[in-house]
Each structure stands twice: as C-alpha cells, then as structure tokens.
C-alpha cells in the first residue's frame, strides 16, 4: 500500500493517526518512531527521514498527556508575568518562549494585573494544575518580590529582573551599567551635567538606572540635578519634557552648571514623549538638548532624530533563565540556591545625542 493510500485510509476512518500508524507507514517498529520523536541519537538518518515523512503525511501529533503518564514529564514550563503590554516584560516573555522551544519545552503563561501574594499563589496553583515542571517569574518591582517571598514553591523557580535577596535563582540585565553607559556618553560629548527622567520608584529597573546615573555624575564631580519621575508611558515623558523645556527657557539668559542640555530617559517610550514636548517648545535635538533612552525598542531608530539608547539582550535573558531552570530540573533539585546571572547591556549611539 502506498503512503498516500494509507493516509487516505486513516482519513476515511475518521480517527487521529497513532504512533503505530506512523510505524506501519514508515516500515519501522513502534520503538523506532518513539526514538525519533525523542530525538534519540542512535537512529540512522535515512530511517529518521522516513519516519518524519510518515508523520507529515499522516498529520500525526504526539499525545502529550499519554507521554506524561509514561515519562512523568510534560516538557512544559510556566511563566508568570505582570504588565505584559510594556516593552520590557513583553520582550522578556517572548525571549523565554523562544529559549524554551530551543530546549524542547513548551510554555504556559499567566499574566497578572497586580502582583499580590494571593494573585501569585493562584497563578502558581493554575500552572501546577497544568502540569508545568518549573516556572519563571518576571518580578520587576518590590510588590512582586514581597508576594513571592510569602509562598511555598512546589517546583523549581527562576526569577527575571528581580533585584532581591531571596534564595531563588535569577537572571537580570545590569541596569545600573546601562545607565552609566548612557550618562557617561552624554558627559563625554561635552555636557556639564545630565538630567534624568526616571521610571516608577517601586520598579527595580528604575531604581538601578537612577543609581547608575547618579553615581556616574558624582564620580565625574558634576552637579546632580533632581530627577523627574515618570511611569514608563510617552505621556509621562511628554509632561517631563514640558517641565524641562520650561527650565531651558527660564535659564536661557543665565548659564549655570545645571542647564538642561542633556537628558537620560529611563525608557524609550518616555523619551518619545520628551522629544515631542521639546519639538513643540521649539528646542532642537541634539542641537540644544541631547537625549538618550533605554531599551532600544524597534521604533527607536526611526524617531526624529534617531534615538541613542541602551539595548537589552532579551534573547540572552530568556536563554539564561531557561537554562537555569532546566539545569534544576535535570538535577532533580528544588533547592533554590540563589544563583545569579547578569547580562550586560550595550549602548547604541544615534543622532539624538550627537550631531557628528
């Protein structure tokens, strides 16, 4: 019987093809099909190709529930995230999903409006019911860490962006280094100081970026202006830009060491709003005020002018997080040893900070 006829026969019988059907069509044993599906190395390339061809022709899909009963593995990881509409959390989630697939795992994600102990506990219970083997918790602010600290964790857990001292493995980007890179760059092109539009104070990333900005100015021996505080949105950046534009207008008649000639903004979305406010006030960027952001969102190079910013490697964050989690799973360890992996960011210089 030809492969096509065999496939048509299964369609007529109106049932989903099984592993035994794949074995019959490929002319191999049930065990050989299982080895191919499990990526076992001891399978000849020609045999593997025959099995793959039979799988495609029959439209075979592996029964994950049956596999879990036999292997006691679901090959599924959980992710708990908050504020997934923001660029950072959304990019982190995407990086985790890509890295999990590369390691042979699927991802089940739960997104929360707020990180309370009750909400986080319910999320972990849901993921446990779904059979996840371990979870990654994106913990960008203090509320999330406080909630996580109250829970008993039934399986391995890795945190992302958690500036915490909990005995849980974690991965983060060196936010302070990123702020230092941006601030040092602005000082290096000739500005006497750098103003800052910060993110929400309860976010670890915002706090670290403030620390990096302030310490760089202090080490340079220059005046540290009071930071303005935003909420990551373009609107908050726009309002900060209006305030800073007012300072530029007020100080135009008298030059001081704290003149607004350079601004480091804690994310690119707020930088977009800031640039709009400066444009409306008739200020040229970078002619009168240079700007640097943080994140390197896809639109940053298309801002007018293109935005100097700090790029975070979300793919590397995802890979490091999943590898930490998988290593715990493979070792059978649920002892959260507090191992930390820190990813370095990179400064991307564009025309918003320098006219050269």
Structure tokens at 305: 């002018």
- Residue at 2 is within a domain: no
Model confidence over 37-85: pLDDT tens digits?
766 667 888 998 998 899 888 887 655 444 444 445 678 899 998 877 7
pTM of the model: 0.77
Specify whether the CB–CB gap between 111 and 82 falls below 8 A: yes
Give the number of domains in the chain: 3
Q: How would residue 119 be classed by pLDDT, with cut points 50, 70 and 90?
A: confident
Q: Name the domain boundary from 43, 62, 81.
A: 62
Q: Considering the chain, what is the average pLDDT of its residues?
A: 85
Q: Do both 168 and 197 map to the same domain?
A: no
Q: Do both 185 and 296 map to the same domain?
A: yes
pLDDT of residue 187: 97
Q: Do both 101 and 146 map to the same domain?
A: yes
Which structural domain, as residue segments, surrounds residue 289?
175-312+347-353
Q: Do both 233 and 319 map to the same domain?
A: no
Q: Please report the DSSP string for 303-329 in residue order.
A: SSSPPBEEE--HHHHHHHHHHHHHHHH
CATH code at position 219 = 3.40.50.2300
Task: Name the nearest CA neighbour of 204 among 234, 178, 243.
Answer: 178
Q: Do both 288 and 240 map to the same domain?
A: yes
Q: How would residue 251 be classed by pLDDT, with cut points 50, 70 and 90?
A: low
Q: Name the domain boundary from 28, 62, 96.
A: 62
Specify whether the CB–CB gap between 290 and 189 falls below 8 A: yes
Q: Do both 181 and 134 map to the same domain?
A: no
pLDDT of residue 12: 37
């Amino acid at each position: 019987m030809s492969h096509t006829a065999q496939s048509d026969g299964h369609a007529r019988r109106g049932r989903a093809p099984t592993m035994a059907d794949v074995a019959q069509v490929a002319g191999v044993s049930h065990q050989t099909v299982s080895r191919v599906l499990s990526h076992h190395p001891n399978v000849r390339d020609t045999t593997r190709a025959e099995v793959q061809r039979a799988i495609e022709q029959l439209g075979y899909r592996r029964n994950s529930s049956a596999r879990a009963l036999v292997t006691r593995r679901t090959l599924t990881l959980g992710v708990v995230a908050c504020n997934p509409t923001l660029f950072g959390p959304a990019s982190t989630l995407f990086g985790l999903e890509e890295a999990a697939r590369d390691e042979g795992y699927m991802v089940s994600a739960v997104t929360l409006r707020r990180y309370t102990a009750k909400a986080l506990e319910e999320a972990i219970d849901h993921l446990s019911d779904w059979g996840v083997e371990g979870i990654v918790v994106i913990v960008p602010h203090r509320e999330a860490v406080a909630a996580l600290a109250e829970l008993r964790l039934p399986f391995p857990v890795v945190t992302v962006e958690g500036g915490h001292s909990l005995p849980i493995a974690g991965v983060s980007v060196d936010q302070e280094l990123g702020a230092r890179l941006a601030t040092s760059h602005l000082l290096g092109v000739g500005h006497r100081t750098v103003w800052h539009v910060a993110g929400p104070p309860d976010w670890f990333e915002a706090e670290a970026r403030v620390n990096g900005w302030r310490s760089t100015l202090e080490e340079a021996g220059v005046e540290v202006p009071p930071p303005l505080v935003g909420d990551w949105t373009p609107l908050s950046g726009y309002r900060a830009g209006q305030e800073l534009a007012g300072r530029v207008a007020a100080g135009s008649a008298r030059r001081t060491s704290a003149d607004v000639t350079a601004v480091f903004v804690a994310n690119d979305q707020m930088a977009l709003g800031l640039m709009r406010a400066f444009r409306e006030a008739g200020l040229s960027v970078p002619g009168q005020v240079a700007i640097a952001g943080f994140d390197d969102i896809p639109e940053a190079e298309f801002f007018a002018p293109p935005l100097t910013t700090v790029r975070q490697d979300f793919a590397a964050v995802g890979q490091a997080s999943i590898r930490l989690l998988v290593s715990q799973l493979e070792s059978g360890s649920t002892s959260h040893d507090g191992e930390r992996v820190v990813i370095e960011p990179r400064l991307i210089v564009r025309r918003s900070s320098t006219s050269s």
